[in-house]
Structure 1
Amino acid sequence: MDNTLTKAALIDVATALNNNEKIEAGLVDPFLDHTFEELSSFSRFMLKVAAAISLFFASVLVIFPEVGEKLIEWLPGFFLLPERLSKALDYVWGLVGKPVGQQHLMYHVPNIIVYAFGVVGIRQVWKRVHKNNWKDLVASAQEKLARAIEDGTGLFRFAPGFSLLFVGEGDHIARSLVADDPTIGLTISSRQQPYTKLWARFAAGEGDEGFVRALGQVNAEDAGEYVLFPVRDEHLFLPGPLDFDIAPHRVDVAVRRIREFEKERAWKAKRIIIVGDKEQRSNFITEGETGRIATDIDEVSLRTIADKYENMTILDPTETTIQAIVAIAAGRRILFRSSDRGVEKYGREFYRRLSLLGYSPTSEEALTIGYDISDLETEHQLLSQAYPAYLPVILSRDIFDGLVKSGLWDDSYIFIPRLVKQELQRLVGQQ
C-alpha cells in the first residue's frame, strides 16, 4: 500500500506541527518517511545550462588558447585578481576540485559558474523568489516531530475508541498488540519503546502532573479504554507472589489516578483492562501492643481493585491459559509434568488454580500438561515424544517458532503470549 503523502497533505501536517496542534496518528510514519529529491527538474536544467556555459569557457581557455589569450588582452585590467584573492579562490576550488593556479579572473569563471551558480546559487535564488518554500516548511516540521517523538512529547490524534496502553519494560504482549495495529493507541511509558513512535513519556514518580501531561498529548476523551500491564513476560503463567512488574497496591494508585482524572473532567468512567494475576497481593499489617489487628483493607489484589472501581476487567493470563487447557482436555483427567524443580515450584499451584474453575474430569483418559522452570525442559519432553497426550505450555518465542516450523497443530501446544494477546484483542474490540 502506497502511503506517500501529497504536497497538500504534507503542508497540512507541517502547518499543524508548527502550530503545536495534534496530528493524525496514521500520518506520522508517512510524514517522517517522506524525502525530497536533491534537485528539482528545473534545477537540473539550470545545471545543464551552467555546464554548457562552463564548457564554452573551458574550450576557449584550453582547446583554443589563442582565443582565450585574445579575450584576456581585451578585458579591462581589473579582471586581473589581486594575488591574495586568487589564492583564496584557489583554496576554495581545492576543497571541491582542483585549484586553477591562475591570477586572471577568466580562468576562474568555469568554476564559479559550476559551483557557485549551478549548485548553491540556484537554490539560494529560488529561496529568495519563493519565500517560506513549502519543502523547507516540511523539512523543518519533520525535524520538530522527530525531536518530539524522541522526547516523548508528540501530539497525536487517534480514531475514536483507541487504547491508552500503560507499559513497562519489555511488555511483549503490548509490543505484539501494537505490531498488529500500529495506531491501536498511545503507548505510555517511562521511555520510548523500540516498536512505536506513538508514545508519551510518563514515569510513576511524576505524579498527577506527569499523568495529565501525557494524556493531554492526545484526544484522550475519545479513548475507548486504558490498558495496564503489571505482569512480567517471563511469569505470565503461575507467577510467584512477587513475580510482577508493578505491585498490586501501585496498580491501585494508578487506577485511582485515572478515575480522579475522569471525575475532574466530568467524563464517563472508561473501561480499564488490567493484564495481571488476580492472586498476587500486597499485604499491610496493623500492629498493636497485644498483637496484630486485622482490618478489611489489609490485602490489595487485582481482584479487590476490580471490586472497588467500576467498569474494570482483569485479564489473568493464568486463568486464561487454564481455561484453554480445560477446553482442550474436554473432560479428560489433567496431569502435570515437569522437572523435579518445576513440580516443586508449580505443581501445587497449578491444581489449586485448576480447582478455582471447578473442573471435574468425566473420563479416565488423561491429558498431560508440560510446563517448567524454562521452556528448554518442556521442549525436551515434547521432542522425546516419550509421553502420550502431551500438551506443552510455553512462553518462549524461539520455542514457539520451532513448533510452528515443525508443523504441529495449534491445539497440540499453548503459546501463552499469543493466547493472552488474542484475548486482549477481543476485549479491546468490545466497544
Structure 2
Amino acid sequence: MKYLSLIYFDTFARFFCGIEDAVRKLDDSAEFMHLAIFPSGYLYMKARGRQVRLLPWEIIHSKASEGEYPQAELDDLGRYHSVIGVRHGDGYKSVLRRRAARYIDELSKIISSYRPDVVVLSGDTRLPCEALKYCLGRAESKPECYYFEQGPNSTTILDVKGVNANCSFRDELAFLTGEGYSSVSRKKQKHYSRNPIYRGFDHLLISLLRLIGNVPPEWDTLSLHKYPKSKYFACLKSNGSMESKSREVLIALQVPDDANNVHHNPLNLSDVTLLQMVLKATENMDINIRVREHPLFRRKYSYKLYQAIESSERTSLSNLSLDEDLTRCAVVVTVNSMTGLDAYLKNIPVVVLGNSFYDALPGIGRASDENSLQEQISRCSGVGTAENMDPSAIFGEMSAKYLIPGHYRDDVLSAATKVAEILTNRPQRIFAKN
C-alpha cells in the first residue's frame, strides 16, 4: 500500500512520523510520501530520513498558468487566502490563481507517478489542501481519502469527508441521546516539548521574504495590529449598572484569521457586526453583553470592535478566565467558536450563527438573523440546554463513536497508533456513510 500525506509544521510532521511507524508495523510493504507546506515540517521529516517534499519549492519551476483552468475553480481553491490577503488589493487574486494552477500541475504529476492508495490531508481549506482535493477528484484512480484535525478535549478527528463543519458525522449528532454513556474525563497528558529551531526557521524565512514582498500565500497570515493599551483598558469596564444585572450574554469570538470564520460563516459576520447583531437582538431585554477574545489574540481584533464596546453601556470586554465567564453568563453566542462546545458541556445554552461540527448536538440553538437570534436568547437564557438531557453523556457518546482519544501534540502519540489502525483496516464504524 502507498500512503500520501499533506502536513504543515514540525508538530504535524512528528505526528505523521508516528503514523508512518505504526502503519509499517501493520503493513510491512507500506510506502510513504509526505508533502510539507512549511519548511519546519519538511526539515523535521528530512532529519529523520523520511520521504518528503517541500511543496512550495516543488511548484517554483511549474509553467502552468491560470488560463489553463476555469477562473471560478481557481478562485474557489484560493478563497481562504483571498480573505487573509485582502490587504494586498485586487491583484492578489491573480497571484492566487497562478499559484493554484501551479499546485494543480505539480500535484497532478505526483498523484500520477506515485499512485497512492491512501491519502491523508491535514485540514481541508488552505490552498495546497484544496488543490490536492481538486486533483484527487480528477485522478483516474480514486485512493481512500481522509482528513485529519485536532478534536475537542484532547482528541483527534479523522474523517472521510472533511473537518470542522465539513465532517461526515455532523448531522448524525442530532440523534445522540447519551443513553448508556457517561462523561469523558481524560487524564491530562504531557505535551511534547518541540524544538523551537524548526518553527523559528519558518518565521525567519517568512520575515526575510516579507522584506521583498514575496511571501507565498499559503505562508501568509492576517495582518493584525494591537489596539492601544490605554484605550483597551477602557473596554475592560465593569460599572455598577452592569454588575446589578444578573444575566449576561457571552459573545465568544473566533481567532481572527481562523478558517472556520472564512469558510463556515454564512452571514459573513465580522467581530464588530457580530456584536452589533447581538446588541440589536437584545435591545429590549434586561441583559448585559460580555465579549470574550481568544486568549492568544487579545488587543488584536478590529479597532471598530473595541470602539463599539467602549461606546456601549451594556457591553464590556472580558478579562476573566473561561470558567469565570461561563459561570457568569446565561447564554453563549458565537459564530462557531469551540467555546460554544465548552459551554454546552457545562449545560449552558449556546446559540451558533455559523456552521460547526458540533452545531447539530441536541440542545444547541441556531440563528440566521436578528429575529431568530432574539427568539433563541429569550427562549434559552438561564434555563440550561434542554430538559432531560445530559450534555456530558451526549459528548461521551460522540467521543466513543466519532473521535479518537489523544492529541497530535501529546508526548506519547497514542492517537497515531489508532490512526494507523484505521488507515490499514479502514473500519467504517467511526465514519458516517457517504
TM-score scaled to structure 2, two decimals? 0.29
Larger radius of gyration: 1
Q: Answer 1 or 2: higher relative contact order, Cα 8 Å, separation at least 6.
A: 2
Considering fraction of residues, name the structure with more helix.
1
